[in-house]
Amino acid sequence: MIVSILGGTGEQGPGMALRWAKAGLDVIIGSRQQEKASRVAAELNQELGQDLIKGMANPEAAAVAEVIALTVPFSAHRSTIESVKEYLSGKIFIDVCVPLDENNPRKMHLPPAGSATEEAQEILGESVKVVAAFQNVSAHALRHHEHPIDCDVLVCGNDKEARQTVLQLVEQMGLHAVDAGLAYNARIVESLTALLIGLNIRYKVKSSGIRITGLPT
């Protein structure tokens, strides 16, 4: 399976790329600048000791992949989605963005649609299967790809089959995935990130996370 990570040169992208590449997926890092994408891909390949990750411009990365993840800061959420919209029809779009308050990352600034995920679905229309995932996993923890991550990944979106595919993609990274239901839950999942950022600051740690308890094992 080909998975592209748009904005993949940023915070979460490299960790996600490394973990998916190690799981045997064809991973593409997308960036606004193709050169930057290629440079980061080369750095990650060097770290892996294998040529597993490619770098492309965002639209090209979106065009060739079956699953497209978006990891840009929320300020670039709408513009990036619009720039690749034509390549996404019928595909799975994993929204990793969190609409944090730009003046205080411990607070949310939820968009009118309710959440980044719901905004993405609104922009892309029903032909694209938008699924939220990875919002609560710290970039720091993701990047240390040799280490397990003590954080569940809540997965939500309106297309059950697409959700199932993303649940599997999360598990392939070695993370535990939880089916968090429909897209409207993304506002809760995204908001949790602001709470965790607050905990990181208050408790002076880098990677607080969450686990869901009481589910069947």
Which residues are at the interface with a copy of itself (CB under 8 A)?
A: 106-108, 138, 141, 150-151, 154, 178-181, 184-185, 187-189, 191-192, 194-196, 198-199, 202-216
* Cβ proximity to a copy of itself, 7 vs 111, nearer residue: 111
Q: How far is the CB of 19 from a copy of itself (least distance, A)?
A: 18
Q: How far is the CB of 52 from a copy of itself (least distance, A)?
A: 29
* Cβ proximity to a copy of itself, 78 vs 106, nearer residue: 106
Q: How far is the CB of 210 from a copy of itself (least distance, A)?
A: 5
The first and second tokens of residue 197, run together, are 């950022």
Q: How far, in Å, CA of 30 to CA of 34, rounded? A: 7
* Cβ proximity to a copy of itself, 43 vs 179, nearer residue: 179
Q: How far is the CB of 130 from a copy of itself (least distance, A)?
A: 18
The answer to whether residues 158 and 121 touch, using CB atoms and an 8 Å cutoff, is yes
Q: How far is the CB of 194 from a copy of itself (least distance, A)?
A: 7
Q: How far is the CB of 178 from a copy of itself (least distance, A)?
A: 7
* Cβ proximity to a copy of itself, 125 vs 211, nearer residue: 211
Using CA atoms, how far residue 208 sits from 16, 65, 140, 163, 202, in Å, is 18, 32, 10, 25, 11
The first and second tokens of residue 2, run together, are 């080909």
* Cβ proximity to a copy of itself, 96 vs 196, nearer residue: 196
* Cβ proximity to a copy of itself, 91 vs 187, nearer residue: 187
- Give 132's DSSP letter: E
Using CA atoms, how far residue 138 sits from 165, 191, 195, 206, in Å, is 22, 14, 12, 8
The answer to whether residues 94 and 101 touch, using CB atoms and an 8 Å cutoff, is no
The answer to whether residues 68 and 92 touch, using CB atoms and an 8 Å cutoff, is yes
Give the SS3 label for residue 108. Answer: strand
